[in-house]
């Protein structure tokens, strides 16, 4: 059986779309409880899913579009990098084995890589420079100061909504910007929604980011840094980050190499140490990359479905013209049959008169 969960992080999806308040769809997910014909249609269209049943409305995080204001107290921003760093080795671009190799290539013991790794990603550390690292040899600290780059993004602004949601605006190369959203929950869960690209090539008709076209892929470091900065800024106030969703700007599996690397850093036992079940990558349905993702990471997968027929999905999600519903669902069924306790989330944005009947 494929576990079916309507994503409770739909807030992240809309927050990261950069939609003006007037354009945020207030009907998102709400009609699921009231449209039995939808479930009949889904059962006919998705034969590989058993036990399909309406998801309790009370279990979904449904929120109205919050009014966004600039965070007035910006004292926390002073210590964060505001300019792009010099040409150095970007430490967060490396997975642990690569960091070990780099440390060794610079004439130091591999064991020092683990110490550095823990200072980069360990809880309540998240260092921004070599000067903050305690207990390392002077020559190793000097190496990090001279050749290591601890940052990857330029923080520009933080916005806060009335419901406590924070939006972080980062600058990247060539004057582009990306957004990261921090979503607190009174049930002890804090979710960070990260971006994986500047813009997006998928051209989904309901997504504002798709209108930008694809400008660039984010590096591994730029993806991981979103979580690191969010943890540094808000963990004291909101508690530890418990969930990450790749539902920001971009199609994550269109940048599959860097997304898989970043996700693996997030779940590393000695690093950020999130549960793989708590890191969810969303996709519009790029089948070859989806297969690779399922085979190379234990993180959760969310499929942005949004239609029960190829006719409708071809229109609102052009990716379906290459990988239609049958191809997508067959690939999902095949891949998850080889995995144990693997969750697949299905996202469905209801568009009035288009895909709601």
Question: Do 11 and 123 share a structural domain?
Answer: no
Q: Are residues 260 and 136 in the same domain?
A: no
Q: Indicate the number of domains in the chain.
A: 2
CA 43 – CA 55 distance, rounded (Å)? 14
**Residue 143 confidence (pLDDT):** 95
Determine the structural domain holding residue 219 and report its residue range. Answer: 4-70+155-347
State yes or no: pLDDT of 318 exceeds 80.
Answer: yes
Report the pLDDT value the prediction gives residue 253, as an integer from 0 to 100: 98
- pLDDT tens-digit readout, 90-131: 999 999 999 999 999 999 999 999 999 999 999 889 999 999
80 vs 357, higher pLDDT: 357
Confidence of residue 85 (pLDDT cuts 50, 70, 90): low
Report yes or no on 274 lying in a domain: yes
User: Does pLDDT of 42 surpass 80?
Assistant: no
Residue pLDDT, tens place only, 212-230? 999 999 999 999 999 999 9
Inside any domain, residue 355: no
Contact 112, 136 (CB under 8 A): yes
Q: Mean pLDDT of all residues in the chain? A: 81
Specify whether 137 is located in the same domain as 166: no
Q: Please report the pLDDT score of residue 44 as a whole number.
A: 38
Does 82 have pLDDT greater than 90?
no
Q: Are residues 136 and 237 in the same domain?
A: no
Do 281 and 219 belong to one domain? Answer: yes
- Residue 300's pLDDT is 95
Burial class (CB in 10 A: 0-12, 13-18, 19+), 185: middle
* Residue 78 belongs to a domain: no
Would you say residue 121 lies in a domain?
A: yes
Q: What is the mean pLDDT of residues 160-180?
A: 94
Q: Is residue 356 part of a domain?
A: no
Q: What is the pLDDT of residue 282?
A: 97
Residue 77 lies in a domain: no
Select from 119, 149, 179 the last residue of a domain. 149
- Per-residue model confidence as pLDDT tens digits over 279-317: 999 999 999 999 999 999 999 999 999 999 999 999 999
- Pairing mode, strands 89-90 and 148-149: parallel
Rounded to an integer, what distance in angstroms lies between the CA atom of residue 302 and that of residue 322? 19
Contact 81, 126 (CB under 8 A): no
The pLDDT of residue 188: 84
165 pLDDT above the threshold of 50: yes
60 pLDDT tier (thresholds 50, 70, 90): very low
* Confidence tier at 173 by pLDDT (50, 70, 90): confident
CA distance 244 to 320: 26
Orientation angle between helical segments 287-296 and 325-336, nearest 10 degrees? 10
Residue 38 CB-half CA count within 13 A: 22
Domain CATH code at residue 268: 3.20.20.70
Strands 89-90 and 344-347: unpaired
- Residue with the two structure tokens 């999905």: 313
Partners of 154 in the β-ladder: 171
In a domain, 139, yes or no: yes
Which of 98, 114, 149 represents a domain boundary (last residue)? Answer: 149
CATH number, domain of 99, equals 1.10.150.530
What mean pLDDT is predicted for residues 324-330? 98
- DSSP secondary structure string, 258-315? HHHHHHHHHT-TTTT---GGGEEEEES--HHHHHHHHHH--SEEEEE---SSHHHHHH
| Boundary of a domain, candidates 94, 121, 149 | 149
Q: What is the Cα gyration radius of the chain?
A: 21
């Amino acid at each position: 059986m494929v576990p079916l969960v309507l994503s409770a992080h739909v807030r992240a999806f809309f927050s990261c779309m950069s939609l003006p308040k007037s354009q945020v769809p207030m009907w998102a997910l709400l009609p699921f409880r009231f449209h039995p014909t939808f479930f009949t249609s889904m059962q006919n269209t998705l034969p590989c899913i058993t036990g399909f049943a309406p998801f309790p409305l009370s279990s979904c995080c449904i929120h109205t579009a919050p009014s966004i204001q600039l965070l007035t107290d910006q004292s926390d921003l002073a210590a964060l990098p505001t300019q792009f760093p010099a040409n150095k080795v970007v430490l967060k671009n490396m997975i642990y084995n690569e960091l070990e190799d780099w440390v060794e290539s610079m004439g130091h013991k591999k064991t020092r890589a683990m110490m550095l790794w823990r200072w980069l990603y360990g809880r309540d550390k998240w260092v921004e420079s070599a000067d903050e690292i305690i207990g390392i040899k002077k020559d190793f600290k000097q190496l990090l100061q001279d050749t290591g780059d601890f940052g990857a993004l330029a923080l520009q602004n933080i916005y806060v909504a009335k419901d406590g949601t924070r939006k972080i605006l980062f600058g990247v190369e060539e004057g582009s910007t990306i957004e990261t959203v921090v979503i607190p929950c009174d049930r002890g869960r804090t979710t960070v929604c990260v971006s994986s690209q500047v813009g997006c090539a998928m051209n989904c008709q309901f997504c504002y980011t798709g209108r930008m076209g694809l400008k660039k892929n984010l590096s591994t470091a730029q993806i991981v840094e979103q979580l690191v900065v969010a943890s540094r800024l808000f963990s004291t106030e909101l508690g530890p980050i418990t969930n990450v969703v790749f539902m920001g700007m971009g199609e994550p599996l269109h940048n599959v190499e860097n997304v898989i690397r970043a996700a693996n850093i997030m779940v590393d036992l000695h690093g950020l140490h999130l549960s793989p079940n708590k890191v969810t990558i969303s996709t519009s349905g790029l089948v070859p990359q989806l297969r690779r993702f399922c085979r190379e990471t234990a993180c959760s997968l969310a499929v942005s479905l949004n239609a029960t027929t190829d006719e409708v999905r071809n229109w609102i999600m052009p990716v379906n013209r290459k990988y239609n519903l049958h191809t997508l669902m067959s690939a999902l069924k095949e891949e998850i049959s080889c995995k144990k306790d693997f969750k697949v989330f299905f996202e469905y944005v209801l568009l009035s008169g288009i895909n709601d009947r």
